[in-house]
Amino acid sequence: MAAGPATLNLTLGSYTQVQDLTHTITPETPVFPGYPPPEFETVRNFEEHGFYAQMLTYVEHTGTHMDAPAHFVEGLAFANELPVALFLAPLAVIDISERAASDPDAQVTPDDVLEWETENGALPAGAFVAMNSGWASRIDDPEAFINLGDDEALHFPGFHPDATGLLIEERDITGIGVDTLSLDFGAATSFDTHVTLLGAGKYGLEGMAALGSVPPAGGLVIVGGPKFQNASGGPSRVMALF
């Protein structure tokens, strides 16, 4: 299903609008190949029990979700161990949707980062940098979202490891996010972007929604990260204030 509520008005300091950046998880939510789909079982109902409750079964990395450092680097922080101060950050959105429309293997490159700064100024300290590739529009078509090609490779956009390295080594970021299944682009043969980002103790968000509805600069991202034992990540409620 599409993202949650549309942009809503509010008054909170200098921010006047809030946008949900989270997809609703359903049994049809696209998942990384090899993962089982989410399962929902009603375990309490009004007729028999007087209230309603579900049993949910899903892999941590389902829907709009967090990748914690421990997801790829043994010994680093689990999601439940990350400081909550990291879950509020200046939001920078790099839009590659025009390029991705004709090239599903498009990646955020160092040049994209530098172009963003030319147009919007230097990335603020502690920024969370998100890729808007337009891929979120495919969420209701799992086959198109996963986009497995005739070559048996996945084809969707992501962050190039060089751009990730620049953001880690030459900028002060909190994390990065994508509107696709993976921080690495789909056809990658190794997880270099994951290892670069998570190995630096940062976190990533995958499967973000509605990034085209927020400005490229000046916003604030709020991440309701998972907090259960030894979480390599988990579904997260993500929103932007601007």
Residue 55's beta-bridge partner residues? 41
Q: State how many domains the chain has.
A: 1
Q: What is the span of the domain harbouring residue 124?
A: 8-241
In the numeric block, the tokens 């230097």 are attached to 122
Tell me, letter by letter, the H, E, C secondary structure of 60-101. Answer: CCCCCEEECHHHCCCCCCCHHHCCHHHHEEEEEEEECHHHHH
Is residue 1, in this structure, part of any structural domain at all? no
Look up the CATH number of the domain holding residue 60. Answer: 3.50.30.50
Residue 86 in tokens: 């990291």
In a domain, 2, yes or no: no
pLDDT tens series, the chain, 242 aa: 444 456 677 667 789 999 999 999 999 999 999 999 999 999 999 999 999 999 999 999 999 999 999 999 999 999 999 999 999 999 999 999 999 999 999 999 999 999 999 999 999 999 999 999 999 999 999 999 999 999 999 999 999 999 999 999 999 999 999 999 999 999 999 999 999 999 999 999 999 999 999 999 999 999 999 999 999 999 999 999 99
